[in-house]
Amino acid sequence: MTLSDSGKRLLPWLVAVAFFMESLDTTILNTAVPAIAQALNVAPLSMKAVLSSYTLSLAVFIPISGWMADRFGTRRVFASAIGLFTLGSFLCGISSDIHLLVACRVLQGCGGAMMVPVGRLTIVRTFSRYELLRAMSAVAIPGLIGPMLGPVTGGLIVGYFHWRVIFFVNIPIGLVGLWMVHRHLPDYREKSHPLDSIGLILFGAGVALLSYVLEVFGEHTLGTREILGLLAIAIALLAGYGIHSSTIRYPLLALGLFSIRTFRAAVSGSFFTRLGIGGIPFMLPLLYQVGLGFTPIQSGLLMMPQAIAAMSLKMTMPRILARFGYRFVLISNTFILGVLILLFATIGVGTPVWLIVALAFCFGFFSSLQYTSMNTLAYADVTGEQASSASSIASTMQQMSISFGVAVASLAAAFFIPDRFHSVSTEMVAGIHKAFFVLGGLTLVSTVIFRELKSDDGAVAGQHEQLAHAE
């Protein structure tokens, strides 16, 4: 299917609308947890199920997104994903008890699980490899802006409106997205194979259980024996899927793609670097609000420079990759991110605001460069027939790494911050600083993953981008 030039220019922004809606939803709810808990007459801790149910739903349903796109077409699946997400948002907004709210969040997750990988798959099948970098850059920006706007927007809605509005904001965005999909989204289909039902059960159950263990780890709601038992079951299920996938012709997730060097480096690199980087959105509000005493709105505003930096990267990133190549950029950029995280550990009560803003801007720029570089490199040597499987694996690993990153950050914070400190104090700030050292150290170590890349990996795309900018 061939799109017009105007259609190709519009497509990345169409997909970006869905990405923005999903990424905003993952963070906007956090600041409203106390208000929702009070309205539903439950303890704030019980709201953990509302947050984790969405993550679990994503982890379970993302793996079948590629198969569904091949079977039913990208337009129908993408439109259904937006429709389910929008319907789930509406039902969440009118929920009267926590159990109904959790069920509606699962419905939201079903839609969200299809939006990201199917949208990315549509981009990959529409643009040639030398155009892919620019298209992915446009798509990545809203996905980075959403988490930055979420805390501020959630705080403003709770402060000036009603907590239900948090869910209703998705409705007009979803309706506009559905109209645009109907008019402009191309409909790609590939020859589909029978669904790997056994693989879906093994992998879905394993990932869901592993995500649950990470959610409850450190909360002392389960004993050590129970946690280890659930962890062992989750590992056994995932190992069982690995064995199962090697014995059938068309597995749910084609793990054989990891034999491709660029795909392996991009996906595994994305997973491990997010263990450090992915915890920063959790740690920064903790530093700003609990450590330094800023209000939630002030804390959110201090994170805005990251979004501004992400937007500025759209014009500069293709030139950076064309000039230095993927290997050099990913190794050096990961190292820089590790250093920047360590620098967050120097922020104290007397740190000037302009310095905090400058550090946040730099972190936003380099983290955006990191994510988009890894996302585009993953498809450098993937064929058209492998694109749907590659998209499913990349999206699944990304979702898992986000959960793992927050878990690592929360564990580091819990380890270094004593329970007896409940207000702004030097001990509290020192504990948060130590957690930043852990995250920064993990990021620095993850640079070794990209060393297996060769200097010319992704060079074709970079050279074409360089020619395109020169014309």
Query: Would you list the DSSP string of 364-379?
Result: HHHHHHHHHHHHHHTT
Confidence band of 37 (pLDDT split at 50, 70, 90) = confident
Query: For the CA atoms of the chain, what is the radius of gyration?
Result: 21
Helix axes 261-277, 387-416, angle to 10 degrees: 30
Is the predicted pLDDT of residue 331 greater than 60, yes or no?
Answer: yes
- The angle at the Cα of 222, spanning 218 to 223, to the nearest 5 degrees, equals 95
Q: Higher-confidence residue: 315 or 349?
A: 349
**Rounded to a whole number, what is the distance in angstroms from the first to the last CA of the chain?**
27
CA dihedral sign of residues 58, 60, 64, 66: positive
Q: Higher-confidence residue: 248 or 55?
A: 248
Residue 462 tokens, joined: 């970079």
Give the pLDDT mean for 61-85: 85
* Range of lowest pLDDT (53-57, 196-200, 301-305, 354-358): 53-57
For residue 417, the model assigns a pLDDT of 67
- The angle at the Cα of 96, spanning 95 to 102, to the nearest 5 degrees, equals 55
For residue 30, the model assigns a pLDDT of 66
Is the predicted pLDDT of residue 456 greater than 80, yes or no?
Answer: no
Is the predicted pLDDT of residue 379 greater than 70, yes or no?
Answer: yes
Confidence band of 270 (pLDDT split at 50, 70, 90) = confident
The whole-angstrom distance between residue 162's C-alpha and the CA centroid of its chain comes to 27
8 A C-beta contact, residue 391 and residue 263: no
Confidence band of 461 (pLDDT split at 50, 70, 90) = very low
pTM to 2 decimal places? 0.73
Is the predicted pLDDT of residue 213 greater than 60, yes or no?
Answer: yes
Give the pLDDT mean for 318-328: 81
Question: Within a 10 A sphere around the Cβ of 16, how many other Cβ atoms?
Answer: 22
Is the predicted pLDDT of residue 469 greater than 50, yes or no?
Answer: no
8 A C-beta contact, residue 363 and residue 337: yes
Q: What is the chain's mean pLDDT, rounded? A: 78
